[in-house]
Structures are given as C-alpha cells and as structure tokens.
C-alpha cells in the first residue's frame, strides 16, 4: 500500500535568491524557470499538518488564511485573522511565508517590485 | 447568493427519475425549523459572477412553502447483522473462531463480534479482548496491522472458564500461536436472548428497524477484514459463514447447520483477498476460495435512510434535464440535485402524454462521475492535491463541513480512515459538491453544455447514464445524436456497449470532453444507487487497491482502467486520456488534414488560427484533462485529427499509464504525448463520432455569450450530425 511520506519533499534552495522570489511576484501563474518550479514544487508538498490553505469567507470576495490540521475531521486553524480580498494576494503572501519557513530568510524585494 | 448552505442538507431518492415519476426529497436540518422548497430546472449552475451566468428555470408545478424540517442522523460504518439468531445449547462448551486482518489498531474501541453480552474486539491499546457480561480477558500483545491472525474464543459455562487466543499466520496454512489470555466466569451469565441479533464488525446500541435489516444505531466499528467466522460446538460448525459465496450480493451465507445468513449494512467491500490468498490469482471468479474475506470500514455509507420530507411528482410533460430542489430560509439557501431522465421509447409514455415528438439529440448526464467525486475530501486528505493544481487549496463552507462530518460518506478519490481505498459511493446521501456552487468540476461544467444548447435553440433531451446502464442501446435508438459530457470518466460495461452499439448502427456521437471512458465501474444490483470502482495498478488515482482486489465484486469483471481490459477510450471515441492540465489551459490549431473537404464543414465560419484561446477554466479550451489520438491504442485508422493543441508547457503532466519506465521529460513543454487531439471518424450505417478531447472545451463554448470559435465548431458539428445525410 502506498501512503505518502510527509518528509518526501527534500529540495533545498537558497533563501537569499531574491531574483526567484521576484520572478514569482512578476509571474505568479507561471510558467516558471526550472529553479522556481522546483521551489514551488517543494512548497506545495509541505506536510498536510500545518499546510497553508484558504477558507472562503465570502464567495469570490474574501478568503481567510488557515493551516490544515493534517488530521481527518479536525478543522484548520485560522492564522492571525488574516483576510485577503483576492486569491492572487493570498498566493503571494503564502509564498513569502513558505519562503521564510523553509529557508529562514524573509522575502525582501526592492521598492520598484514590491509594490 | 450563498447563505450557509450546510444549514439544510438533503438528497433525492432516486437521483434519476422519469417524467411522470416520483422522487422523494429527504431533508435534514442543522438548525432551521422550517424552509420553503422550490423546484428549478438548471440551465447553468456556474455561480461565478465572472462566469457565463447562473440560470435556473422556476417550475410552477412544485412549491412547498413553510415545510417543517428536523435533524436526521446518519449511521455510517459497515457491519454484518444476523437475519436469524443462532440457536445454541449453552450447556455445551462453544468456540467462536475467525481470521482477522485489522487495519487500524491504534484507534478507538473496535468490535469484531457482538452478541448480547458476548463481545470480541480490539481495545484502545490495539489488543484483542473478549467480554462475557462483565467478565473480560485481554491478550497482552498489540496486534499488527495488515497481518492475518486466527482468533479463537472458547467459553465453557460448566467450568466457568473463558479462553481467548490468537495465532499469527506465517503463510497460508501455517499458524504460530502468539498470545493467549484466560479468565474465570465468576457468576452465572445470562445467555444471549432469543432474537437478539448477532453483529459482526460493530456493536449495536439500537434495535432493528421495521425491515429487520439494519440497526437504528451502531458504534465501535471494526476496520479491517473478517474471514471465515464460525461458531463451533463439539467440533461441529453450528454457524460457519462463507464470505466467498454470493460476492455480488449483500448477504453472507451461513453454510453451517442453521442457515443464519448475515445481511451486510452500508456496503463493506466484498471480493477481498482472504487468509488463503496465495498471490496466484487476481480474480475472485476464478479462485473464489481465496476470496473469503469482507473488508469493513467505520466510515462506509450506502444509505442515510432518512425519512421523506416531500414527494416530488414529476409531471408527465416535464422536460428532461438537470433539476434542483432549493430549500430556503431567511438565512440559508441549500440545493439538492436530481435528474429528470428520458427512458426507452416503449416505456416513455410519450404516445399518451401529448409530448412533442422526440428530439434528435440526447445529452447523457454522467451521474457515475458525479457520484465518484461526490463529497471528495482530497483537499484535506491527499497531499498531492495542491501540487496538481499548482495553487493553495481554497476551501468552501461545504468542504469544511464535509471534513468535520465524515458520516456523509466519501468519494472514490478518498481513502477510508484506515487508509484503504473507497470502492463504494452512493447517491442516497447529501452530495455537497454535486449542485450549483464553488466546486465546478463535472456537474457545474456540464451545465455549460445545457446553457449552450438552450442558447443555440437545439431541441434536446436528457438521460442519465444510470438509465443508459439499465436500458442499454434501447435508450438511445430514437435519437440521431448523443452528446457525452465534459467528463464521462466512469463507465460500466453495459454503458460502454450501448454507446458502441449506437455508434455502429448509424448513431452520431459528440464527445465534448476529456478523460472519458476511463474507469470500468459496476452498479451493484443489490445496493441501489451505489457505484463500485476498483483502482488497479495504473491510471491517475489517489489510492491503489490491494494486490488481488482489482476485480469488481458486483460483476466479476476486472476493474481499473478500460485500457487495461483491452478497450482504450481511443477505440470508442478516437481519443483517450493523456494528461492533466490544471493550470494554464491552451488552445487548438487546425491540422493540415482538417482541410480535407469531407471535414471542412467543421470549421465553416471559423477563420481564426487559434481555436479556444479563451474560456472559463484556465483561459483556454484545452485544459483540465486532455485526450490524444493513437492508432496503437485503438483510434480508428481512418479517423481524421482535425485539430491539435498548442502551447502546453510544464503545466501539462503526462498520465502514469503513458510511460512505462522511469524517465525524464514528462511535462508538456518537453513531451509531445501531452496534448489534446480533436478527431472525427465515420462508423457503420452512416454513423459518426466527433471528439473534442478536452474537459475545458464546454466551458469555452459559453464564452462571450456563446459567440466564439469553440461554440461555432460545436454548432457546425452538431447541426451536421443532426442532418441524416452521410457524413
């Protein structure tokens, strides 16, 4: 029987590579460079326990940040009452959070791009 | 507006009803005491404000204001229940034996056998125990998951002794005693009373219902397989249940002296490998003796058994189609889907109802697909979901509710609480993603076709694939054209054969989707409303069945991919599944072959180079899941590929069955198999098949108020197919 291993995503990347974070910011829906794709693949394979997700607060209008419990029947945990007004806004924030979680580095872009 | 859709839940039984027939609406309330009920025909279920526009047609023939509603419980979890209580001379020592294959020993209390005060089970520490009245014995070692053991409980009421032991199976036929626990029975016990049912895989806390075929309430369900349970006295089997018999039924035979057959409740998995399975067969039909087990789960569900709230009588002249019952309160709007389906001509009553002559076109609603995806939990349970969709999971209120209310039953994409795959799904329960809402895959997408047919003023009728399964080609014979939907993924043999027979007797077939005709399923005769699916060793799947368990219990046929049974989808519709493309949908371009004058009609009025570079799913008509042409997989040699996809990048992922060795270059930017092909071919008797080859095709048809080149091409083909002149 095949059961997923929460630790099977092992790709490591340099958290100082702001050019890759910038690439995502500029082109969030892809296609991505090979290295950015690998980073995103890593981010999207984080263990189910604690994985970021979005709860629909108001359909098509607002979305609340949460983390999955990873356990059947146990609801996600709301994160800091953060509410987004678009999926795109949420995806960029989740990207930055995961970057920090995986590398220890904050995503800091220059002011021209980080508007 | 969506307003707390989970305050009221419901389902219609049957899901598919004929004009002139009756379906029963069963509602449960999570709060409101009353609601208004209205019936609507669904033209478009897509509620996205940036979509084509949701559209529901009020039906004046049914309105129920201010209906009283109440909460109705769901008793999930499978078990076996004796229809006739065994009779035992309690003055003689007796033994209960069984083989067990536990699958979840670190969970809660689990009952293997329950018979009044007598009980055998697994405690919270994973250890085997037996209770008789207040006396209990417990083995010292925890059981291992997914290992066969043979259990024996011996009770002697003369010596007041009870002995519980189990042996671990080394291999079939070889046992090694592992643990034993003995205890005294200190007081005179009451015997199981007359007519107290014997229960396996759960303990009962309620009485039998009026039918005597289920209990009002159960608990402590066992997860795992039970094999060859028996009651012995003086080495004679008083009861000996042979689960290898009647595999397609919902009863288990007692081949002992008393004929105490068991009825199986909530659809545990039959045709399970037993303790004798040696790995030399994969078919319970060929080696029934090796399939002597039943796999029970604490979250199996085949029927909520709710009381009927209102009967919905469908007028004889009602249009066939997609329908919803809409329950509303000041705070809540909740929809329940059902289908009004055509039936074969001799039964249709058209001669007496005054309905107009049958339409040329029949749209086949793929309810097997809807059921297979119904109440999916993959956003919570399947780690690969986010990676597949390349975006964080967006969870609706319904999905939150489903996560916390597993008693609503699972989808074919889910695993049970013991991680085994879900083989049975049922229509007799609320299905929170088969209705207008945020979950657009399948049901909502298919209503784009309905909206388009209405917008283009085609005269069409609708039948469900369940009717197709039951009536075969007789359902189709009065139509010139059939349309199969965006994702007719799950097909039984009768359904496949009916479509093929229609094609080969002059029928014309538009296949407007992708990933169709992919899994072979069964509709178990003894479990109405249930679809059986076995995941084999191939195909895009979220779980893989246990070795040897890939054959359908309902039919004996190999389950899994049609392709693995020698019928690739290409052999039916010219194209077959190649890839997922859940991000960055793309478009088609015409092939050189498309300029053949025989097929030029397809592109009449279409001058654009790019076909479908727009749409509501990923921005293109080539998207979600896509199919390709391949003569090596059965595409007709004389079929013409009239268009093929362009622009697919890394977002396209080749399906597992499309490569047979570990390799690189599997994405759409590198691998030419990651593509969609549009094909047309002629069949016998002036028939023809045209396949779009992509699930996202219909959700481009409705773009720009149905005025676009995808719409135009579909219209050209449909009009041409309705014309009896040879194609």
* CA separation for the pair B508, B433 (Å, rounded): 31
Average pLDDT over residues B309-324: 97
Give tens-digit pLDDT for A5-38: 888 899 999 999 999 999 999 999 999 999 999 9
Tell whether A35 lies on the interface with B, counting CB pairs under 8 A.
no
Residue B357: predicted pLDDT: 67
Residue B177: predicted pLDDT: 80
Residues B59 and B159 in one domain: no
Between residues B226 and B133, the one the model is more confident about: B226
Q: Would B613 be classed as within a structural domain? A: no
Indicate the average pLDDT of chain B.
95
Residues B106 and B21 in one domain: no
Residues B59 and B194 in one domain: no
Question: Chain A contacts of B392, Cβ < 8 Å?
Answer: 52-54, 90-91, 94
Number of structural domains, chain B? 2
Question: Domain spans of chain A?
Answer: 18-103
Q: In this structure, what CATH number is given to the domain that contains residue B30? A: 2.60.40.10
User: Which of B51, B386, B666 best probes binding to A when mutated, by most A CB atoms within 10 angstroms?
Assistant: B386
Residues B119 and B208 in one domain: yes
Residues B18 and B107 in one domain: no
Tell whether B356 lies on the interface with A, counting CB pairs under 8 A.
no
Give tens-digit pLDDT for B499-548: 999 999 999 999 999 999 999 999 999 999 999 999 988 999 999 999 99
- Contacting residues for B202 by C-beta, under 8 A, at least 6 apart: B77, B78, B79, B111, B114, B218, B219, B220, B221, B222, B296
Residues B103 and B252 in one domain: yes
Residue B158: predicted pLDDT: 87
Average pLDDT over residues B673-678: 98
Chain B residue with the nearest C-alpha to that of A62? B394
Average pLDDT over residues B25-44: 97
Residues B144 and B29 in one domain: no
Please give, rounded to a whole number of angstroms, the shortest distance from the CA of A87 to a CA of chain B: 9
Q: Would B107 be classed as within a structural domain? A: yes
Give the rounded distance of the alpha carbon of B508 from its chain centre.
Answer: 28
Quote the percentage of chain B above a pLDDT of 90.
89
Residue B558: predicted pLDDT: 97
* CA separation for the pair B417, B300 (Å, rounded): 10
Residues B68 and B85 in one domain: no
pLDDT over 60 (residue B350): no
Q: In this structure, what CATH number is given to the domain that contains residue B288? A: 2.60.120.200
B394/A30 touch (CB, cutoff 8 Å), yes or no? no
Q: Would B419 be classed as within a structural domain? A: no
Residues B26 and B135 in one domain: no
Residues B92 and B118 in one domain: yes
B49/A56 touch (CB, cutoff 8 Å), yes or no? no
Tokens of B470: 């039951």
Tell whether B144 lies on the interface with A, counting CB pairs under 8 A.
no
User: Which of B53, B106, B390, B392 best probes binding to A when mutated, by most A CB atoms within 10 angstroms?
Assistant: B392
Asked whether this complex has an ipTM greater than 0.85, the answer is: yes
Residue B184: predicted pLDDT: 86
- Contacting residues for B259 by C-beta, under 8 A, at least 6 apart: B84
Cis peptide before A31 (omega within 30 of 0): yes
Domain extent for B54: 8-74+305-340
Smallest Cβ–Cβ distance between B387 and the set A1, A45, A63 belongs to A45
Give tens-digit pLDDT for B433-484: 999 999 999 999 999 999 999 999 999 999 999 999 999 999 999 999 999 9
Give tens-digit pLDDT for B172-184: 989 988 888 988 8
Residues B116 and B64 in one domain: no
Residue A111: predicted pLDDT: 60
CB atoms within 10 A of CB B172: 14
Question: Chain B contacts of A29, Cβ < 8 Å?
Answer: 583-584
Residue A115: predicted pLDDT: 43
Residue B206: predicted pLDDT: 77
A75/B400 touch (CB, cutoff 8 Å), yes or no? yes
Average pLDDT over residues B339-349: 79
Residues B221 and B258 in one domain: yes
Q: CB under 8 Å, gap of 24 or more: what pairs does B252-260 form? A: B252/B80, B252/B294, B256/B230, B256/B231, B258/B84, B258/B86, B258/B87, B259/B84, B260/B82, B260/B83, B260/B84, B260/B85, B260/B86, B260/B198
| Secondary structure letter of residue B558 according to DSSP | B
* CA separation for the pair B280, B6 (Å, rounded): 48
Residue B67: predicted pLDDT: 97
Q: Would B475 be classed as within a structural domain? A: no
Give tens-digit pLDDT for B628-642: 999 999 999 999 999
- Contacting residues for B165 by C-beta, under 8 A, at least 6 apart: B139, B151, B152, B177, B179, B180, B181
Give the bridge partners for B510, in sequence order: B483, B690
Give tens-digit pLDDT for B257-266: 899 999 999 9
Q: Would B50 be classed as within a structural domain? A: yes
């Amino acid at each position: 029987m095949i059961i997923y291993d929460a630790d099977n995503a092992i790709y490591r990347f340099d958290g100082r590579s702001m050019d890759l974070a910038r690439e995502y910011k500029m082109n969030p829906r892809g296609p991505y460079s090979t290295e950015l794709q690998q980073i995103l693949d890593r981010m999207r394979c984080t263990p189910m326990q604690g994985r970021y997700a979005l709860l629909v607060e108001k359909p098509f209008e607002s979305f609340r940040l949460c983390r999955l419990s990873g356990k059947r029947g146990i609801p996600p945990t709301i994160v800091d009452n953060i509410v987004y007004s678009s999926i795109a806004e949420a995806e960029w924030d989740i990207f930055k959070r995961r970057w920090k979680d995986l590398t220890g580095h904050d995503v800091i872009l220059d002011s021209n791009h980080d508007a | 507006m969506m307003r707390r859709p989970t305050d009221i839940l419901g389902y219609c039984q049957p899901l598919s009803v004929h004009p002139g027939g009756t379906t029963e609406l069963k509602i449960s309330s999570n709060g409101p005491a009353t609601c208004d009920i209205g019936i609507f025909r669904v033209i478009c279920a897509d509620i996205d404000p940036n979509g084509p526009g949701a559209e529901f047609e009020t039906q004046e023939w049914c309105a129920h204001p201010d209906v009283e509603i109440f909460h109705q419980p769901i008793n999930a979890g499978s078990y076996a229940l004796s229809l006739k209580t065994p009779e035992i001379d309690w003055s003689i020592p007796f033994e209960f034996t069984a083989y067990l294959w536990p699958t979840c020993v670190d969970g809660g209390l689990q009952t293997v056998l329950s018979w009044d005060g007598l009980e055998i089970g697994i405690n919270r520490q994973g250890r085997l125990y037996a209770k008789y009245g207040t006396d209990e014995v417990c083995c010292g070692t925890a059981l291992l998951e997914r290992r066969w053991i043979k259990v024996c409980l011996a009770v002697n009421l003369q010596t007041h002794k009870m002995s519980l032991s189990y042996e671990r199976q080394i291999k079939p036929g070889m046992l090694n005693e592992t643990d034993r626990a003995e205890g005294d029975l200190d007081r005179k016990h009451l015997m199981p009373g007359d007519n107290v049912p014997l229960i396996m895989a759960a303990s009962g806390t309620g009485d039998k219902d009026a039918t005597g075929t289920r209990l009002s309430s159960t608990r402590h369900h066992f997860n795992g397989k039970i094999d060859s349970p028996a009651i012995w006295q003086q080495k004679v089997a008083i009861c000996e249940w042979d689960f290898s018999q009647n595999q397609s039924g919902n009863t288990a035979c007692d081949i002992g002296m008393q004929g105490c057959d068991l009825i199986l409740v909530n659809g545990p998995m039959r045709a399970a490998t037993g303790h004798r399975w040696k790995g030399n067969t994969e078919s319970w039909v060929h080696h029934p003796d090796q399939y002597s087990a039943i796999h029970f789960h604490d979250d199996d569900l085949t029927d909520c058994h709710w009381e009927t709230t209102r009967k919905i009588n469908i007028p004889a002249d009602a249009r066939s189609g997609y329908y919803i019952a809409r329950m509303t309160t000041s705070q809540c709007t909740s929809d329940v889907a059902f289908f009004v389906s055509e039936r074969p001509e001799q039964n249709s009553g058209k001669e007496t109802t005054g309905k107009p002559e049958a339409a040329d076109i029949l749209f086949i609603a793929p309810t097997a697909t809807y059921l297979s995806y119904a109440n999916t939990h993959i956003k919570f349970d399947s780690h690969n979901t986010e990676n597949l969709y390349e975006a964080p999971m967006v969870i609706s209120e319904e999905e939150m509710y489903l996560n916390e209310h597993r008693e609503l039953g699972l989808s074919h994409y889910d695993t049970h609480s013991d991680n085994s795959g879900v083989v049975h799904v049922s229509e007799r329960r609320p299905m929170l993603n088969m209705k207008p809402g945020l979950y657009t895959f399948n049901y909502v997408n298919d209503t784009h076709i309905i909206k388009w047919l209405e917008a283009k003023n085609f005269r069409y009728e609708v039948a469900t694939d369940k009717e197709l399964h039951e009536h075969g080609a007789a359902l189709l014979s009065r139509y010139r054209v059939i349309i199969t939907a965006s994702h007719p993924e799950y097909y039984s043999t009768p359904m496949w054969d009916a479509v093929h027979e229609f094609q080969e007797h002059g029928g014309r077939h538009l296949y407007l989707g992708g990933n169709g005709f992919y899994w072979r399923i069964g509709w178990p005769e003894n479990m109405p409303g249930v679809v059986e699916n076995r995941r084999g060793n191939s195909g895009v799947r979220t779980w893989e069945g246990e070795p040897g368990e890939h054959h359908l219990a309902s039919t004996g046929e190999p389950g899994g991919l049609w392709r693995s049974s020698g019928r690739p989808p290409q052999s039916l519709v010219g194209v077959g599944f190649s890839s997922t493309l859940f991000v960055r949908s793309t478009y088609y371009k015409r092939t050189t072959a498309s300029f053949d004058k025989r097929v030029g009609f397809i592109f009449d009025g279409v001058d654009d180079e790019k076909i479908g570079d727009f749409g509501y799913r990923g921005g293109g008509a080539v998207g979600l899941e896509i199919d390709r042409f391949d003569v090596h997989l059965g595409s007709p040699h004389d079929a013409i590929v009239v268009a093929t996809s362009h622009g697919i990048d890394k977002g396209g992922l080749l399906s597992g069955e499309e490569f047979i060795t570990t390799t690189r270059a599997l994405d759409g930017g590198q691998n030419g198999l990651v593509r969609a092909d549009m094909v047309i071919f002629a069949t016998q008797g002036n028939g023809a098949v045209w396949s779009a080859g992509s699930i996202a095709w219909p959700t481009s048809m409705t773009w720009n108020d149905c005025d676009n080149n995808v719409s135009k091409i579909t219209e050209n083909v449909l009009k041409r197919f309705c014309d009896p002149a040879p194609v």
